[in-house]
């Protein structure tokens, strides 16, 4: 990103002195690492059943214990991390790209285009996102792809509003008038001048939307509308754990912790990024 | 053929109380190599004139009259055609060099963009030309500075970069909207000298907008004094500094501090305040503040009357104004 480019090597050092950014980066890194490692190796299979080993409490052999089918919880959480990240990344990418594009269009065109985009986003905002996601997955059928679509669609208006607001303030700046005086058209100005100037805000929002998407995916899976068995997912692990609440409480603790770590990490990372990118702070350097 | 012919240019802005005419019936003509100054206080319509010439008036504004660039009426062109003319045949320098450059792009890139846009020059070639332009406008170490972002340059250096950007495609018409107002005095002189030098060197026409009469005296051939959106007096700058025919111009010059004025002598202010454009009647715009206004002044907008050859004023009481100025 261009802001980082001016700052040279100081940017990274400064970033890690920022407490929320550092904690957020470590927690998020942990989740991403777990997901990456699960691609090559998990302590046990996260899918195959091993009923003789069922419901073992945490031990050296199974650090997080085993579930009612004898599967290793740690392995399931690692694979679940992968699932959560894929759903989150794709859903946010859909929402962010379509939403930002619509917001930029609205700010550039004004008039009825802007009205249409904003009223559409008001309309989608009027329905609670999770409830609508439940409705969409109930209609289209449960599954990973449909839950990605459902979460993605409800990120579109979030990014459309954010991008429209930020882009409108950029359009009012002098250098946009100067660019117009140089003969640049709307599309060119949007791509060359407006987008780079709102990118930092969009990135911060994407980080936070990512956390919300992970939470939403867990919610959908908990209700059985998200990722389907046998692939493990954090939300469904929580649902399974409910049955054994008194016999094996650790079944709920570890997936719950995983969700908390991922969401907290991404929120802190987003907060940290926002502070670091904020020009008022940047100038104090 | 005249490069720029403006006839009865009127710019109306929508307000809550109806249309406000920010520019009313402004006419002038300009040839290559000629320089014209638009002078007046804040809100007199000089910047709006510049924006309307570029086709950059605010959204919802109505522009009427005729703006002919080499005989082609710009008001009949669509946005795509205007984009081909802006930055190419006519270019503009802005008041605030601190904010008129994109903070995220190196200045060399910004100077090279009009070339890439209008001349279809490749990136490397355009950036080499940008360095030559930056060098020409007096930016020290142009080759290195081309990679600098705007915040790494001083105000004067940024204004030089803005000028380089405006000059990139060798425009026929350069519009400079208060190009030195945001700069400190020593830099002001340098920037003005540079603009004039470049105008001479390239045979461009220049429209210089300013509220600073000193700037006008040093730089331009002709002056239009604007008040309330109307061009109240037009003359060569020599003639204007010699004799002001319009009561507003007289007041403007009387309010100017001068070296050699007696100690304790008071500057003469123009009584009243700048009128709200939405309230102005269809009459002389200066009537409410004019010391010699008469009933006829409220009846209709005054036509431009000849004061001398090439010197006109929109005032129907030129005789009274002359007597008053002699007294």
Average pLDDT, chain A: 84
User: DSSP string covering B267-314, please?
Assistant: P-PPSS-PPPGGG--SS-TTTTT-TT--GGGGTSPPPPEEEETTEEES
In order of start, what are the domains of chain B with their CATH numbers?
A: 1-89+171-327 (3.40.50.300)
Taking contacts as CB-CB distances below 8 angstroms, the residues of chain A near B83 are 183-185
Q: Is B88 on the interface with A (CB under 8 A)?
A: yes
- How far is residue B282 from each of residues A204, B21, B47, B242, measured CA to CA in Å? 54, 10, 22, 31
- Least CB–CB distance from A181: residue in B91, B103, B118: B91
pLDDT level of residue A49 (50, 70, 90 thresholds): confident
Q: Is A2 on the interface with B (CB under 8 A)?
A: yes
The arrangement of strands across the sheet holding B72-73 comes to B18-30, B4-15, B62-69, B72-73
Buried b / exposed e along A239-270 (16+ C-beta atoms within 10 A): bbbeebeeebebbbbbbeebbebbbebbbbbb
Taking contacts as CB-CB distances below 8 angstroms, the residues of chain A near B118 are 183
Q: Token pair 């002038």 is at which residue?
A: B28
* CA distance to partner chain B, nearest, from residue A133 (Å): 38
Q: How many domains does chain A have?
A: 1
What value does the mean pLDDT take over residues B111-123? Answer: 89
Q: Is A201 on the interface with B (CB under 8 A)?
A: no
Q: Is B9 on the interface with A (CB under 8 A)?
A: no
What value does the mean pLDDT take over residues A57-70? Answer: 76
Taking contacts as CB-CB distances below 8 angstroms, the residues of chain B near A182 are 86-87, 91, 113-114, 117, 165
- Least CB–CB distance from A175: residue in B88, B91, B102: B102
Reported as a single tens digit per residue, the pLDDT across A10-26 is 667 777 778 888 999 99
- Inter-chain touch B104–A197, beta carbons under 8 Å: yes
Average pLDDT, chain B: 87
Give the ipTM. Answer: 0.85
Residue of A179, A181, A185 to mutate for B, most B C-beta atoms under 10 A:
A181
Is pLDDT above 60 for B327?
no
For residues A87 and A212, what is the distance between their CA atoms, to the nearest angstrom?
11
For residues A281 and A13, what is the distance between their CA atoms, to the nearest angstrom?
15
- Least CB–CB distance from A183: residue in B86, B94, B105: B86
- Inter-chain touch B102–A2, beta carbons under 8 Å: no
Is pLDDT above 50 for A152?
yes
Q: Given this model, what pLDDT does residue A154 score?
A: 86
Task: Give the DSSP letter of residue A52.
Answer: G
> Measuring CA to CA, which residue among B49, B39, B23 is closest to residue B249?
B39
**Residue B138 Cα to chain centre, angstroms:** 23
What value does the mean pLDDT take over residues A208-220? Answer: 89
For residues B66 and B61, what is the distance between their CA atoms, to the nearest angstrom?
15
- Inter-chain touch A178–B165, beta carbons under 8 Å: yes
For residues B257 and B206, what is the distance between their CA atoms, to the nearest angstrom?
27
Is pLDDT above 60 for A165?
yes
Q: Given this model, what pLDDT does residue A10 score?
A: 66
CATH number of residue A188's parent domain: 1.10.3720.10
For residues A97 and A209, what is the distance between their CA atoms, to the nearest angstrom?
13
Taking contacts as CB-CB distances below 8 angstroms, the residues of chain B near A179 are 102
Residues B229 and B280: beta-carbon distance below 8 Å: yes
**Higher pLDDT, residue A5 or B260:** B260
pLDDT level of residue A282 (50, 70, 90 thresholds): very low
For residues A279 and B71, what is the distance between their CA atoms, to the nearest angstrom?
47
Q: Can you point out the beta strands (E) in chain B?
A: 4-15, 18-30, 35-39, 62-69, 72-73, 90-93, 173-177, 205-210, 222-227, 230-236, 305-308, 311-313
Taking contacts as CB-CB distances below 8 angstroms, the residues of chain B near A183 are 83-88, 114, 117-118
- Least CB–CB distance from A183: residue in B84, B96, B100: B84
Q: Is B84 on the interface with A (CB under 8 A)?
A: yes
Reported as a single tens digit per residue, the pLDDT across B194-247 is 888 889 888 899 999 988 888 888 889 999 999 988 889 999 988 888 888 898
Q: Is A184 on the interface with B (CB under 8 A)?
A: yes
Reported as a single tens digit per residue, the pLDDT across A124-140 is 888 887 788 888 888 88
pLDDT level of residue A5 (50, 70, 90 thresholds): very low
Q: Is A172 on the interface with B (CB under 8 A)?
A: no
Q: Is A84 on the interface with B (CB under 8 A)?
A: no
Q: Given this model, what pLDDT does residue B85 score?
A: 92
- Residue A167, judged by CB atoms within 10 A of its CB (0-12, 13-18, 19+), counts as buried
Q: Given this model, what pLDDT does residue A194 score?
A: 93
3-state secondary structure A120-132: HHHHHHCCCHHHH
Reported as a single tens digit per residue, the pLDDT across A230-245 is 788 888 888 888 888 8
Buried b / exposed e along B86-103 (16+ C-beta atoms within 10 A): bbbbbbbbbbbbbbbbbb
- Inter-chain touch B56–A180, beta carbons under 8 Å: yes
- The dihedrals phi and psi of A146, each to the nearest 5 degrees, come to -65, -35
What value does the mean pLDDT take over residues A142-164? Answer: 89
- Least CB–CB distance from A183: residue in B59, B100, B118: B118
Reported as a single tens digit per residue, the pLDDT across A244-280 is 888 878 888 888 898 999 999 999 998 888 887 765 5
Residue of A183, A184, A197, A199 to mutate for B, most B C-beta atoms under 10 A:
A183
Q: Is B261 on the interface with A (CB under 8 A)?
A: no
- Least CB–CB distance from A183: residue in B87, B105, B162: B87
- Least CB–CB distance from A173: residue in B85, B99, B162: B99
A-B contacts at Cβ under 8 angstroms: 68
Task: Give the DSSP letter of residue B151.
Answer: G
Full domain range(s) for residue A189 = 2-284
- HSE-up of residue A71 (Cα within 13 Å, Cβ side): 22
Query: Which residues are bridge partners to B175 per DSSP?
Result: B92, B207
- Inter-chain touch B54–A197, beta carbons under 8 Å: no
């Amino acid at each position: 990103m261009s802001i980082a480019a001016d700052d040279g090597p100081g940017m990274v050092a400064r970033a890690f002195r920022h407490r929320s950014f550092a904690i957020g980066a470590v927690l998020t890194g942990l989740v991403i690492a777990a997901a990456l490692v699960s691609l090559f190796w998990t302590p046990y299979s996260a899918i195959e059943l091993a009923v003789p080993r069922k419901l073992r409490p945490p031990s050296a052999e199974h650090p997080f214990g085993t579930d009612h089918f004898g599967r290793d919880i740690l392995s399931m959480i690692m694979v679940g991390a992968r699932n959560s990240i894929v759903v989150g990344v794709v859903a946010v990418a859909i929402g962010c790209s379509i939403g930002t594009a619509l917001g930029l269009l609205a700010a550039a065109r004004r008039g009825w285009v802007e009205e249409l985009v904003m009223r559409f986003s008001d309309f989608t905002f009027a329905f609670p996102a999770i409830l609508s996601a439940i409705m969409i997955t109930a209609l289209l059928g449960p599954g990973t792809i449909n839950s990605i679509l459902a979460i993605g669609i409800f990120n579109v208006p979030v990014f459309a509003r954010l991008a429209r607001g930020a882009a409108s303030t950029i359009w009012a700046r002098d250098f946009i008038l100067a660019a117009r005086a140089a003969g640049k058209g709307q599309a060119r100005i949007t791509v060359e001048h407006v987008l780079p100037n709102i990118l930092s805000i969009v990135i911060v929002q994407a980080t936070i939307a990512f956390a919300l998407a992970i939470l939403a995916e867990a919610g959908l899976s908990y209700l059985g509308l998200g990722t389907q068995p046998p692939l493990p997912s954090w939300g469904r692990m929580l649902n399974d754990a409910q049955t054994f609440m008194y016999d094996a409480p650790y079944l709920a603790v570890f997936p719950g912790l995983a969700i908390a770590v991922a969401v907290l990490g991404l929120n802190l990372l987003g907060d940290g990024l926002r502070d670091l990118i904020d020009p008022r702070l940047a100038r104090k350097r | 053929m005249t490069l720029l012919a403006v006839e009865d240019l009127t710019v109306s802005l929508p307000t809550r109380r109806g249309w406000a005419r920010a520019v009313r019936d402004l006419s002038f003509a300009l040839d290559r190599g000629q320089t014209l100054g638009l002078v007046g206080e804040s809100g007199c319509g000089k910047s709006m004139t510049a924006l309307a010439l570029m086709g950059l008036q605010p959204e919802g504004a109505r522009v009427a009259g005729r703006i002919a660039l080499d005989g082609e009426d710009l008001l009949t062109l669509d946005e795509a055609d205007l984009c081909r003319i802006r930055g190419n045949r006519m270019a503009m320098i802005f008041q605030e060099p601190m904010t008129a450059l994109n903070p995220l792009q190196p200045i060399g890139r910004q100077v090279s963009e009009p070339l890439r846009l209008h001349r279809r020059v490749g990136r490397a070639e355009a950036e080499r030309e940008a360095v030559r332009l930056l060098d020409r406008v007096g930016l020290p170490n142009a080759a290195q500075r081309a990679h600098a972002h705007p915040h790494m340059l001083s105000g004067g250096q940024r204004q030089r970069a803005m000028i380089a950007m405006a000059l990139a495609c060798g425009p026929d018409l350069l519009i400079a909207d208060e190009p030195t107002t945001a700069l400190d005095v020593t830099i002001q002189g340098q920037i003005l000298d540079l603009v004039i030098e470049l105008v001479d060197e390239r045979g461009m026409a220049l429209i210089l907008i300013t509220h600073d009469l000193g700037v006008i005296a040093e730089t331009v051939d002709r002056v239009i004094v604007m008040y309330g959106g109307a061009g109240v007096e037009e003359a060569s700058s020599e003639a204007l500094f010699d004799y002001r025919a319009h009561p507003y111009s007289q007041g403007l010059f009387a309010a100017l501090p001068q070296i050699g004025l007696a100690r304790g002598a008071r500057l003469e202010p123009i009584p009243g305040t700048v009128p709200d454009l939405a309230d102005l009647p269809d009459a002389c715009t200066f009537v409410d503040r004019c010391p010699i206004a008469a009933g006829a002044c409220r009846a209709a907008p005054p036509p431009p009357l000849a004061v001398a050859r090439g010197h006109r004023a929109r005032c129907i009481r030129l005789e009274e104004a002359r007597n008053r100025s002699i007294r």
